[in-house]
Amino acid sequence: MSCVHYRFQSRLTYDSLQFEGLNISAGELKRQIMRSKRLKFCQLKISNAQTDEEYTDDALIPKNTSVIIRRIPAAGLKSSNRRFVGHQAGRWREPSPRADPSLLSLEQLLKTENLAEAKASEEDKLKAVMYQSSLCYYSSR
């Protein structure tokens, strides 16, 4: 039995994949790695660990070669990370209309010393904390 030693770029240890013959195609190696590691919806790039030569799918990899695998997101698929869907990075969302008129406004909250016990929404409390934490850097405020 022949084998190829492979490791993912983020890992330190090598795993081995056994096959019949003197060499294995890079495409077949990718399929076997994806099956053994149960990977879905990604592409793999294979390069030689010693020479950094990148293999195409039809390239033959000789037995006893060490390769490095890089995972690349599959093109054309939507992100499965639903936390950031519909949110623009780096921008505050507009404050939602207040359901309870007894809550403190953001302006009143900015001047409050004890934010933990203040009656306000959690979002407004966080904005006030961020504002108050930067006051020491701006002497004009």
User: What integer is the mean pLDDT of 46-73?
Assistant: 93
Lowest-confidence pick of 2-11, 93-102, 116-125: 93-102
Average pLDDT over residues 85-90: 50
Q: How confident is the model at residue 53 (pLDDT cuts 50, 70, 90)?
A: very high
Q: How confident is the model at residue 19 (pLDDT cuts 50, 70, 90)?
A: very high
CA-CA distance, 79 to 114, in Å (whole number)? 40
Whole-model pTM over 0.85: no
Q: What is the pLDDT of residue 30?
A: 92
Give the pLDDT mean for 23-33.
93
Q: What is the DSSP string of 7-66?
A: EETT-SS-EEEEESSSEEEHHHHHHHHHHHHT--SEEEEEEETTT-PEEPTT-EEETT-E
Q: List, in order, residues 6 or more apart from 31 with CB less than 8 Å away.
A: none
Residues 19, 36: Cα–Cα separation, whole Å:
13
Map out the domains of the chain with their CATH numbers: 2-73 (3.10.20.90), 100-141 (no CATH)
